[in-house]
Amino acid sequence: MRSSFTIVACLAILSGGTGVFAQTPSFTDPQAYCRAVGTIDEPDQQFTGDKTPGWMAAPFVNPQYPRALYGISWRCMGGSVLVCQNAQSPSCLKADTDQTPSAAMSEFCRGNVNSQVIPRVVTGTERMLAYNWICRGTAPAIARATRLDARGFVAADWKAVSAP
What per-residue confidence (pLDDT) applies to 91? 77
pLDDT, residue 41, reads 96
Predicted TM-score of the model (pTM) = 0.74
User: What is the identity of the amino acid at 59?
Assistant: P
140 and 155 inside one domain: no
- Name the domain count of the chain: 2
Domain span holding position 54: 24-92+150-161
Distance CA 105, CA 82 (A): 33
In a domain, 10, yes or no: no
User: Does 14 map to a domain?
Assistant: no
Do residues 43 and 121 make contact, with C-beta atoms less than 8 angstroms apart?
A: no
Classify residue 9: in a domain, yes or no. no
* Ramachandran angles phi, psi of 68, nearest 5°: -85, 60
Whether residue 35 is found in the same domain as residue 59: yes
Contacts of 79 (CB under 8 A, 6+ apart): 34, 35, 38, 39
Report phi then psi at 32, rounded to 5. Answer: -65, -40
pLDDT by residue, tens only, the chain of 164 residues: 444 434 444 444 444 444 445 577 899 999 999 999 999 999 999 999 998 888 888 777 767 765 555 678 899 999 999 999 876 567 788 999 999 999 999 999 999 999 999 998 999 877 778 999 999 999 999 999 999 999 999 999 899 999 88
Q: Let me know whether 141 and 157 are in one domain.
A: no
The reported pLDDT for the residue numbered 1 is 46
Residues 57 and 40 both lie in one domain? yes
Residues 134 and 58 in one domain: no
Whether residue 39 sits in one domain with residue 59 = yes
Do 111 and 38 fall within a single domain? no
In a domain, 140, yes or no: yes
Specify whether 110 is located in the same domain as 140.
Answer: yes
Q: Is residue 155 part of a domain?
A: yes
Residues 124 and 68 in one domain: no
- Work out whether strand 139-145 and strand 131-136 pair parallel, antiparallel, or are unpaired: antiparallel
User: Do 125 and 74 share a structural domain?
Assistant: no
Does residue 132 lie in a domain region? yes
Dihedral angle of Cα 94, 129, 81, 88, to the nearest 10 degrees: -110
Q: Cα separation of 154 and 79, whole Å?
A: 19
In a domain, 114, yes or no: yes
* Per-residue confidence (pLDDT) for residue 10, from 0 to 100: 44
Domain shared by 82 and 156, yes or no: yes
Domain shared by 108 and 80, yes or no: no
